[in-house]
Structure 1
Amino acid sequence: MTQWHPYHVMAARTWRFFDRYVDAVRTDAFANGGAAHNDAEDFLHAAFQCCWHIKDWIKNDNGIEESVRRGILTQAHADPRLRVVQGFANGTKHLEITPVGKGDQLRVDDGEVEFHQLANGDLLVRRFLNVAQTGERVAADLALRAGMTAWEEIVHANGLPSIVDSQP
């Protein structure tokens, strides 16, 4: 049996909010704006905030050696995928970003939403994020998945249980 750690709670929460986002943008009501659009935005912001703050749950988990926790935090702050997650999560949570002592934090803002009609009749909705420092435009859903992949690689490299088991 895999050992459970508190960070699994945040990983599972990340996936739940992401699933709610995906479900919300698949509705006809989303394209018309209003409450469904606001719900989707809230779910996406919450997913990014949970994904980035997995680090806090690791940082405060006394079941993980302190040296391992410090190493994981260093790796998380250095990972380019998690830096995008961090930038968007903190940008949606705080009015102003003041990364005192944490290096240069990316500024990642909401971008446009694109709608694509698929061959099978489904509507694909893709929200983009804009990385201010690089001018890069990234798909929010892919950035979130990349962030969760980064967490999986980091915890695995440090001998901790997978977060994949946290995905519904």
Structure 2
Amino acid sequence: MEQRFSRESRCYKTSRIFPTDVNNHNTLFGGKLMAYIDDIASIAATKHCRQTVVTASTDSVDFLHPIRPTDSVSLEAYVTWTGNTSMEVFVKVIKEDLYNGERKIAATSFLTFVAFGENNRPAPVPIVIPETEEEIKLHETAPARAEIRKLRRIESKSLANFLTLNNPWE
């Protein structure tokens, strides 16, 4: 089976926060940050498998510190774990105050992507090899997150059986 290092999928994105990006608390809209996260994570997943990918789940987005218009926001993403056709991607969000240089981890996120081959079916992905202390820790703890994902998906499917498609405005 093909193998790739976590570092081979690592990618970065830095953005400035503008007045149109903030909510009524003058902090970055959560949805805007979530879009940045999904974008950079999809790039990391694609770099790892060199195939088309789709987001299978966003496990979490943990907002740790507000991001303000005086900050820049940098995202770092890389593949931490792989299954047969799926990949877990970790995204670290760092805010930097542009006036004093103070940096903090503002958010973290885990997402799962599935690779698709030419026949538009799930396709095998290379095994990921962690190297740094951070990569190894995330790789070692990934099976527990995968089990939680599996249980959450079962619960979601069960719940969907009870949900209605009624439109109250019709």
Q: TM-score range by the shorter chain?
A: under 0.3
Larger Rg: 2
Give the structure with the higher percent helix. 1
Q: TM-score, normalised by structure 2?
A: 0.24
Give the structure with the higher percent strand. 2
